[in-house]
Each structure stands twice: as structure tokens, then as C-alpha cells.
Chain A
Amino acid sequence: MHKFSVSELSKGLKNRDFSSVELTQHYLNRIDHSDLNAFITVTEDLALSQAREADTMLAKGKANNLTGIPYAHKDIFCTKGIKTSAGSKILDSFISPYDATLSYKLNMEGMVMLGKTNMDEFAMGSSNENSYYGPVKNPWDKKRVPGGSSGGSAAAVSARLSAFATGTDTGGSIRQPASLCGITGIKPTYGRISRYGMIAYASSLDQAGPITQSAEDAALVLNTMAGFDDKDSTSVNRDVPDYTENLNNSIKGLRIGIPKEYFSEGLDDDIAKVILQSIKEFESMGAIVKEVSLPNSAYAVPTYYIVAPCECSSNLSRLDGVRYGYRCDDPKDLNDMYLRSRSEGFGEEVKRRIMIGTYALSAGYYDAYYLKAQKVRHLISEDFKKAFQKVDVIMGPVSPTTAFEIGAIKDSVSMYLADIYTLSVNLAGLPAISIPAGFSNNLPVGLQMIGNYWSEEVLLNTAHLFQTQTDWHVRLPENT
């Protein structure tokens, strides 16, 4: 059953080929036997209770497309009455008193939440090694990382521990783990999905998205996730199309741009081969390939690693041990309470980014760092605007490497540099999807497609057609 896509499961449930309870129990068993450490909390009782309700709705013929489908929810989304940790010790004891809008929406759709997935602490990381709950293992090779920060979600989908998962992407945290785990992940246009209840890392970059087995599944799930929320000032009031409607449109004449800056010496040969091979696939379907230039690409890393830490240094100030979360034992006085609660509660990478952000915003440095970074951000966005005048979709790698070994990358800067292909997308607020496109040394390689604002349909259509002509997305890790 776990090899079925969401689309197949949806049909199967409607046909009563199996019940949601059966399906849910099946996944729960798989999770129980899994050593990937993909979950922080498994919500067994809740899942089964939701599954029973779903079965009732299905029996009455009142089900939606996703009613009864079990999913894994990234532990960055607040879930009422359920532990929400953001992968951090400081929220280890936090039972959220409210639901994120997204959590609420998925509940209303009748979906079944299997549990909260492991992640890099406060979404800061590219390997899921920064979690208070330990690293997550890549199902393709358990000595390796699944990517991050949505590592748990990606591993869960890749190992078919759930039908799909939710993720968040601030600098690549959906796309990169999707790439490293051989699955599909889309980050929609900034403002497409509500951020209310999604624990903030970098507010102007964060966006939620589905992590799925295929573009078709992603379209199905995005239909439910997307939409305006009046509780989120940055949510855009724009109609949600049926993302599944135009999946099979022909892409004849689609103009694909390949940024020359992405194919410099830094890129691994194997990966470059996979990417270029994939692009030929699109050409065979009638797409036209052109070279484009994104001249400020190289500045994406320093720009992001100023903007994001600045925003997060402020966003995380609320974690002070006063109203919720971790408070140190026997605080001597207020200052001691702040210092020890935060220092004992936050992991090293989080503390580093808070320090960088605090410094970059401080008196005398604001202009040189934050303001400068926001200007360069503008230039990076302009690069894309110009490119999209000539092409419809930009394609390239997701990650310069395949999954590396747990513990292999020890210094922050090297880790940051690996985000080179994904960061600019968040800086510009554009939608982008990562789909499995091949292998290198038996490890998955993802292809990234970046679209213009609000062009999720184009991305999903293009990705879906690729997936009708190739079978990378149905390959499974051994023994799945």
C-alpha cells in the first residue's frame, strides 16, 4: 500500500479498496520499524481517530480528494494539543495551544496526521544534523544525510513512511532534501501558503510546501495547502487554480533557460551530466533551450546569510523562558534566566545565526550589512525578471553534491556554500520545484525548475510530463 502515490491512494480509498484505518495502521507499523529517526512525535491515537472519521466520510460519499490520506507534518507547524518543537530543546516541552492555519486546513480536509517530523533546529540547516532530536538518516544510504531543514519529511516520503509530507523552504529546505532523497518538493511563490502558525525563521523568505512522490501528488496537495489567510499580512489574496487541471498540457514551445553561472567548475561532473541529460528530455517534448545569465548569482550566499540571520535574530527573541518553552533551573535573576534559558535551550548553529544577525543589525553596521544585503537582493530579483522576459522556466541543479555523510561537513561556511543554487529563489520569492532526475554513485540527483511569480501550474505541468517519460520518481531505496 505504501507504494501507492497520493493520487492512487485517493482513488483506492474512494473505491473502498482499503480503509483509511488500514492504510494508517500500515504506515504506523512502518514508522515503528524504521530507524531513520524521521519523526520527533508519532501521533498514533490521533491518526487512528482521524482515520476512523475519514472512513465515515468516505462511506457517506462526503469525502474530499485527500480525505483519509496519511501524511507527515514538519514539526515547525503548530498543532493544537500536540508537541511542537521546531527541532529544538527550547520548545521540547511546548504543547501548542493553537493550530497553524495549515494544520487546520489539512485537518478540515480530513487528512490523517501520522506525526511531526524531525528537522534542523528552527529550520536552520541543510542536513538535519542540527536537531536536538538527533540526525535523520537518508533512506538511500543510512550513513548519509537526507538534507535539510525538512530532512525528516523528505526521509519519510522517500522511505514511504507516509504518503506525503509537509515542509518549509527558506533557502532550499524543501528542494534540497527532496533532491538528496530522490523525491519531489515544491516551494510555491512567497505568499501562496499561509505562514500563520509556522514557526518563523526568516519571515520574508519562509514558505511552506508539499514534499511528495510526484508532481501530480504535489499538485493535489498544493490545492489544499494554498490560499489566502487573513491572519497573515504577507498572504496574497489570489485565486487558487486547480493545480491538477493542466498537468498534461503539451510543453511544445516552452522556453527553458539554463543559467551559465550555474555550470561553472564548482559543479560536480556527474550532477552536471544528469541535469543536461534531463534537459534533453524536455527538448524531446518540444521545449526550446536557451542560455540565460543571472550575473549576481554568486552573491546569493552572502546576501541570504545576512538577511536570514537578521530576521531570525529578532524572530527568536520571543524564546525567553517567560511564557512558554524551556526555562533554566533556579534562575538567580532575570538576566540569568534569559542567558541560561536561551543558551541551554538553543543549539550551536541557531546561536551562531542569532549572533550574526544581532551584529549585522547593530548600530554602525546596519548600512554595511542588512541594508546592503537588501539592495543586492533587489539586484538578484532583477536578474530573474530580466531572464523571465526571455524564458518561461529556468532549470539547473539543486545541490552541488549528492547526499554527504553524516558528520562530514563540520564548518558552517562550507555548509552555507552548498545552498548556492537554491537561495536566490527565496530571495526573489519565486516558485521552484525539485524533481528526481537521475543518480550519481547510486545517490539521487535532483533537477530544479524555477518559474516566474505564480507559475506553479507551469512548473507542475513541466515536471509531470517529465515524470510520464522517466521513472526516476518511482525508484525506491532498497528494501522499501
Chain B
Amino acid sequence: MAWETVIGLEIHSQLSTKSKIFSGASTAFGAAPNTQACAVDLGLPGVLPVLNKEAVMMALRFGLAVNAKINQHSIFARKNYFYPDLPKGYQISQFEIPIVGQGEIEINTGEGGTKMVGITRAHLEEDAGKSIHDLYKDFTAIDLNRAGTPLLEIVSEPDMRNAKEAVAYAKKIHALVQYIGICDGNMQEGSFRCDANVSIRKKGSKKLGTRAELKNINSFKFLEKAINIEIERQQEILEDGGEVVQETRLYDAEKNETRSMRTKEEANDYRYFPDPDLLPVDIEDEMLTEIKNGLPELPTEKKNRFVSEFGLSDYDAENLTAQKSLADYYEAMLNDGAEAKLAANWVMGELTAALNTNQMDVQDSHISANELSELVKRISDDTISGKIAKDVFKVMWEGNGRVDDIIESQGLRQMSDVRAIEDIIDGIIADNSQQVEQFKAGNGKLLGYFVGQVMKATQGKANPKKVNQILNDKLS
């Protein structure tokens, strides 16, 4: 049986406004419980919502960045249901007329291929508070700090056909929202949440299968695993002759399985209707033009520019532009005179490794773009070898000085004096006549042995390029 998977993603992106979408309470992360929930957020009797302009601007920025149709007249609607962390007993959201309509975004499908994924809509809504179940044995504790934080819910078309595509799409959106400065993308803190709608159908069928909605996924790695395990589960059911139930399922990362959510949304009828406390949002053409002109260079544009301007490969450009801060770091290095390809290798190599090990963002890097560009320049001008540079990098990361100081104080300058190298090589050739014969007889691998000997004799400081060149000359 050939099955085809159909995946759509619903992404809730918390907008990085200072205040909430409908009140003036702060949205800062990490505050003590309920200290950032004002009267409006608590849903006290008589309170009313007033719309945050920045949330609207951010939604429009997103819409323009994905070439979407903007609904210049959009309506807020109430989604009615009862839950203790939903103070008003309804969520203010958008239903029939969302602010952003149909759009699209290009993703990499792997192996150098690309594909357009449709975005059905994106709408503004308010986040709910948090329910904490393990603070007390017999009670659930409610913290309403998060209630009222602006969310942009981005709904994709069911255009993805496997977990990798889904992850590629999620990563693309993740990068984009950070690029245009509307969301900090912090999945651990819950500012970027992905739900996946997964269904399968017989290959060639036009009809969609019954879908399950997967929730509680807080990393791209888990997104891929959750989707794959769910595909397996559904396949098993259908192959056994059963039917997939339309439901919400939670992903359990520890067990790597999905389980049905004992649902607060059991056959819920949300009774959507336009919120009578809010008026229609009307966007003037001028505002759209202003926003469009203010958009930064978007990831795809930047990537293409890196390829054409800096001669980078598509793969390198893609990696460097995945995060705007990383791309900015890289460009700053080039502005300081670092060579494009070399700088790219160092950013994607040593720098990224150091950032990952220390679980930090490039903004918190211990080595600035200017400092790293100095290091790279010293490789380009042959002062030190690439290998030595790695050691220098480590010293710099510890905060122990700038490149030139470290090179001087530790005497790391590589030996590039051709005469001196020739002398040493002559000496090594003289002492290793057996290996010289074997090499000349055809054992090319022995070149590494000779290089090693030279390095030993020079405490690793001989310029490897020159060593290779001279060795090749003398041994031929």
C-alpha cells in the first residue's frame, strides 16, 4: 500500500511587543506569577480591550514578507470556551476575516530542491494564561501573566508531504519572524509554538484523510519525530482496516509517542461572533506602504545576495542567512576586511560550535565580529596557519586578549621563511632516506609523514602550504 502523507502546520508566534495586545500590562518574560496581569487581562467585570498598534504593524509586516493578501478591513471575533487560564471565558481572535490572507513561502526540500508552501492565513489573537498542575496536589494553579500576550497564528496550506518538509517550513518561518523583528523565536520560552496537522491517504487520492492535530512540540527535532511517529501510527491503523479518529494528540518526547488529549475541547462549539467591544480594523494604504518600505532584506533575498556578491555556495549562504544575527555578524566581518569564503567557514565552523556548546546566541558571543575578522585576516596573510588559529580562537574565547597579542605572547607566528623551511626539510629528507625511497616508489600517503616530521621539528609553526609545496618540489 503506497501512502501519501499530508501535513499542515499551525504556528503560534508570540509578537515581541512591550505591552499586551489589548491592555497596557507588560509582556516581559519571567516575571513573578500574576504580577503582569492587569484588570483587563484578568477579565474583571466591566473591563474593555483596546488594540495595540504595534501588534497590528507586526502582523502586517509578516503578511507583506510572505507576499500575502492583506485584508485591509478585518474583524476581531470571540472564540468562546471555558478553561481556568482563559479569564474572560472567551479568547479574542479573528475568524471569518483575518488581517493576513493567502500568502506563500519558499522552502528547501533537501538535495538542493525547493518548493513553495502556501500560507492560508495569519491572524491576531490573545494568548491565554498558564495552568500549573504540579504546584499543589489537589489544585491547579493559574498564572495569568501570559494572558493577553499578542499572538500571530500562522496557518499553512496542507502542502507538506513529509516531516523534513514540515521542519524546513517551520525553520523558514522561525527565521523569518526573527528577521522582520516580530518574534524572538524562543521555543523554550514558548514564544514560537508549532502544532502539526497530520493525515495520510492512498497515493494518488485527491481526498484528504482524517487528520490528527499534534501539540506540545517545543523543538524542531521533536517536530520531526512527532510527525514520523504519528505517520507510523496512522498507517498501522489504516492497514489494520481501522479508522483514524479526528482528535488532538500530545507528543510525549520521553516515550516518543503521541497520545490522545483528554480534551478541554471535547466537541467544543466555539460560537464565534464579532467582538462587540472592538471595531473593525481598517488599514490605510499609506500604512502598508510605510511598512513595506521599512521591511529589512528578507532571508531569501539575503541568501541570493550572499551567493552573487560574495561568491558563496548556496549551501553556505543558506546556513549563514538562517539567522539574521548570524548574517549580520558575518557581514560585519567582511566589512572589516575578512575574506568571504574563509570567514564563512569560521562562522559556520568554530564559531557555531562554540555557540552551541555554550548554548548561546551569536549576540552573546565571546568573540566579536571584529575580533574574529582579525583572526581570519591573520590566516589569509599567512601569519598563522589554520590549525594554530583554532588554538588562538580558544584563547580568545576565554577572553584572554586580541589576536595579535596572543600570537606574539605565545610565539605562534608561523614560520614562512622559505629558506628556513628548506633547511629543515633537507634535514628530514636526509634522516629518512627509507621513507623517501618508498615515497618515490609510489607510496603517496607518506607525504603526510614528512609533513608531520616538519611540524614536529617546528613545533607546528611551519606554514603548511609552503611545507607541502617545498616537499613536493624536493621529493619529485
A residues sitting closer than 8 Å to B (CB atoms) are: 77-78, 84, 86, 91, 94, 96-98, 100, 195-200, 202-204, 230-234, 310-311, 314, 316-320, 322-324, 334, 338, 358, 361-363, 366, 370
Which one of A198, A203, A318 lies within 8 Å of B88 (CB-CB)? A318
Residues on the B chain within 8 Å of A91, using CB? 45
Q: Are A200 and B44 in contact (CB under 8 A)?
A: no
**CB distance B46 to A324 under 8 Å?**
no
B42: chain A residues within 8 A (beta carbon): 323-324
Q: Which residues of A contact B84 (CB under 8 A)?
A: 320, 322, 334
Minimal beta-carbon separation of A381 from chain B (angstroms): 15
B277 touches A203 (CB 8 A): yes
B82 at the interface (CB under 8 A from A): yes
Chain A residues with CB under 8 A of B43: 318, 323
Residue B3 CB within 8 A of the other chain: no
13 inter-chain pairs at a CB distance below 8 angstroms, sorted by A residue, are: A84-B45, A196-B47, A199-B45, A233-B51, A233-B277, A234-B48, A311-B276, A314-B78, A317-B88, A318-B87, A320-B84, A362-B269, A363-B269
Is B39 part of the binding interface, using a Cβ–Cβ cutoff of 8 Å?
yes
Whether B439 is near chain A, meaning CB under 8 Å from some CB there, is no
Partner of A198, one of B46, B82, B87: B46
C-alpha gap A91/B140 in the complex (Å): 23
Q: How far does the Cβ of B209 sit from chain A's closest Cβ, in whole Å?
A: 23
CA distance A234 to B45 in the complex (A): 17
Interface residues on B, range: 20 to 34
B80, CB-defined interface residue at 8 Å: yes
Inter-chain contact A199/B277, CB cutoff 8 Å: no
The one of A231, A324, A334 that contacts B44, using a Cβ cutoff of 8 Å:
A324
- Given known pairs A234-B279, A334-B84, A366-B273, the reply for A314 and B44 (CB within 8 Å) is no
Is there an interface contact between B50 and A231, defined as CB atoms closer than 8 Å?
Answer: yes
Top-10 shortest CB links A-B: A317-B89, A361-B271, A203-B276, A204-B276, A318-B43, A197-B46, A199-B45, A318-B88, A199-B46, A78-B46
Name which residue of chain B comes closest to A357, CB basis.
Answer: B271
Closest to A311 in B: B276
Closest residue of B by beta carbon distance from A363: B269
- The residues of A that contact B276 with a CB separation of less than 8 Å are 202-204, 234, 311
Do the beta carbons of A233 and B271 come within 8 Å of each other? no
Instruction: Given A233-B278, A314-B78, verify A98-B39 contact (CB < 8 Å).
Output: yes
Q: Give 14 A-B pairs besides A203-B276, A231-B48 with Cβ atoms closer than 8 angstroms.
A: A78-B44, A84-B45, A196-B46, A196-B47, A200-B45, A232-B48, A234-B277, A234-B279, A314-B90, A318-B88, A318-B89, A324-B42, A334-B140, A366-B271
Q: Is the CB of A100 within 8 A of B46?
A: yes
Chain A CB within 8 A of B181 CB:
no
Residues of B within 8 A of A (CB): 39, 42-51, 78, 80, 82, 84, 87-90, 140, 142, 269, 271-273, 276-279
Contact B50 A361 (CB under 8 A): no
Given known contacts A98-B39, A366-B273, is B46 in contact with A361 (CB within 8 Å)? Answer: no
Known: A231-B48, A232-B48. A314 touches B80 (CB 8 A): yes
Query: How many Å lie between the Cα of A86 and that of B51 in the bound state?
Result: 27
User: Taking CB as reference atom, which chain B residue is nearest A338?
Assistant: B82
B89 adjacent to A314 (CB under 8 Å): yes
Chain B hits for A323, CB < 8 A: 42-44, 87
CB of B324, distance to nearest CB on chain A (Å): 35
Contact of B89 among A100, A204, A320, A362 (CB under 8 A): A320
Contact of B80 among A199, A200, A232, A361 (CB under 8 A): A361
* Chain A residue at minimal CB-CB distance from B140: A334
Complex Cα spacing A200 to B45, Å: 7
Contacts of A86 in B (CB 8 A): 45
How near does chain B come to A93, taking the closest CB pair, in angstroms?
13
Chain A, Cβ-Cβ closest to B40: A231
Return A473 CB to nearest CB of chain B, in Å.
32
For B279, the closest partner residue in chain A by CB is A233
A233 touching B82 by the CB < 8 A rule?
no
User: B45, A318: Cβ atoms under 8 Å?
Assistant: yes
Pick the residue among A78, A204, A230, A314 that contacts B45 (CB under 8 A). A78
Q: How far is the CB of A202 from chain B (nearest CB, A)?
A: 8
Cα distance A78–B271 in the bound complex, in angstroms:
28
Residues B48 and A94 in contact, CB atoms below 8 Å apart: no
- Nearest opposing residue in chain B for A85, CB measure: B45
- B271's closest neighbor in chain A, by CB? A361
CB distance from B262 to the nearest CB of A (A): 12
B322 → A minimal CB distance (Å): 40
Docked pose: A319 CA to B142 CA in angstroms: 16
Query: If the complex has contacts A203-B277, A362-B271, A363-B269, are A320 and B48 also in contact, measured as CB distance less than 8 A?
Result: no
The complex places the Cα of A96 from the Cα of B44 at a distance, in Å, of 9
Residue of B44, B80, B140, B278 with most chain A CB atoms under a 10 A cut-off: B44
A203 to chain B: which residues have CB within 8 Å? 276-277
How far in angstroms is the closest Cβ of chain B from A73? Answer: 13
Report the Cα distance A256→B298, complex, angstroms.
Answer: 63
Closest to B278 in A: A233
Q: Say whether B271 contacts A358, CB under 8 Å.
A: yes
Query: In the complex, what distance in Å separates the CA atom of A305 from the CA atom of B402?
Result: 77
Min CB distance A386 to B, Å, is 25
Q: A320-B82, A322-B142 are in contact. Are A233 and B269 (CB under 8 A)?
A: no
Q: By CB atoms of chain A within 10 A, which of B89, B272, B278 has the most?
A: B89
Report the Cα distance A96→B39, complex, angstroms: 10
